[in-house]
Amino acid sequence: MSVYLLPINIAVIIFCLLSFFLFIPWLIYSYRKYGYLSLWASIVAYSFIFYMLSALFLVLLPLPETRNTCAMQPPDTVHYTLVPFSFVRDIITSSSVVWSQPSTYVRLLTQSAFLQAAFNFILLLPLGVYLRYFFQQRRYWKRALGLGFALSLFFETTQITGIYGIYNCPYRIFDVDDLILNSTGALFGFIIAPVILALFPSRDKLIAKANKLKESSLVPPLSQLLAVIIDYFLIKISWSLTFGLFTSSEFAEIVYKTICFFILFLVVPLIWDGKTIGTNILRFKLIHVDGGAPPWQSLLKRSIALYLPLATSWILNIFDSIELDMNSILYPYHVWTTMAIFGFLVIMWAVLFIHTAVILIKRGKRNFYFDYVADLVPRKK
């Protein structure tokens, strides 16, 4: 059992890391495709990633401790088995089952040959279920069989090549029976998938809901928040890829980000019909409450409202980085000023968190504070 638990544990770790980096891209994709964050679509996508990682690691792990795997094997080692259905012979010859006595069939569950064949059959069975969800119609069973075979062939090729040359000899054999069992398992999963998928929302329902939401001009609050995050993330990336490569000055970073912030949140939407890069990616724009294009005064108010929480955090970092001798006459003022800014920051972020939670619960019936104070409303393009 530990042979299977190790690959799955590693898959969990890798999956958690991937989930962190894929979260924002997935949100962007979900809102562009469906117009909302579908919990079911998210479960399908993330579970599919986890399944594929688990299947790959179950095939490849555990890895040998040395790259010189040839030294661990006899010179006449055969790294492939090309005789089909050898697993049937192995099950029959190694089994203590009396085939005329059905009561002894349970002994198969303790036979390594049977368990190995069952594992290879089950390995790609979930792939068939996922493919049925993606393809929907039963007439695509040939695609499911072909994709199952292709994935199995990829696994077997990876093994026979020693993970494409990382190891100088294969540490697992290329077995044609694995291709047969894997492909058959994927096809079987595709056939029985409707029984499993009947318990969950169909893709048709997701698409129908997406089409209904597209008829509405309201922009989901999470989409609005995501647009702001994208814009600010672009500012951070631009710093890291430009001036951040040559200086670590905190003051220079603040100046740079401040300039970019007002360019991105004030100048860009002013000349781009109320759109920032983030809002354009998520397919909405800002308009004035009277229905016209946003004036510069409104965009300035919105920019300042978004900028103040960040500026307060930056000011706190500056005060916190100042080192004064405890005997200095300014030391008490420095301590109390830093504590006051910190206290204000905690209260401010707590209020913003509660405000954000309320807006998300209201599902777009109320605007975020930065749009409310600027008399702006987000609307789909």
pLDDT by position in tens, the chain (length 381): 556 677 888 888 898 888 888 888 888 888 887 777 777 888 888 999 999 999 999 888 888 888 888 878 887 787 788 888 888 887 777 767 666 677 777 777 777 788 888 899 999 999 999 999 888 888 889 999 999 999 999 999 998 888 888 888 888 888 899 999 999 999 999 999 988 888 777 777 777 776 676 666 778 888 899 999 999 999 999 998 998 888 888 888 888 999 999 999 999 999 998 999 999 998 889 999 888 889 999 999 999 999 988 888 877 777 666 676 667 776 677 677 778 877 888 888 899 899 988 888 877 678 899 998 999 988 886
Give the pLDDT score at 227.
92
pTM of the model: 0.77
Own/partner pairs for 178-182, CB < 8 Å, 24+ apart? 178/120, 178/152, 179/149, 179/152, 179/153, 180/84, 180/85, 181/87, 181/117, 181/120, 181/121, 181/123, 182/120, 182/121, 182/123, 182/124, 182/148, 182/149, 182/151, 182/152, 182/155
Q: What angle do CA 239, 241, 243 make, to 5 degrees?
A: 55
Q: Which residues contact 327 (CB under 8 A, 6 or more apart)?
A: none
Q: Which residues on adjacent β-strands are paired with residue 175?
A: 81
Look at the alpha carbons of 237, 243, 248, 251 in this order and tell me if their dihedral is positive or negative.
negative
Residue length of the chain: 381
Strand locations in the chain (E):
80-81, 174-175, 284-288, 376-380
Contact 148, 106 (CB under 8 A): no
Q: Which of 200, 230, 202 is nearest to 32 (CA)?
A: 230
- Output the CA torsion sign for 234, 237, 241, 246: positive
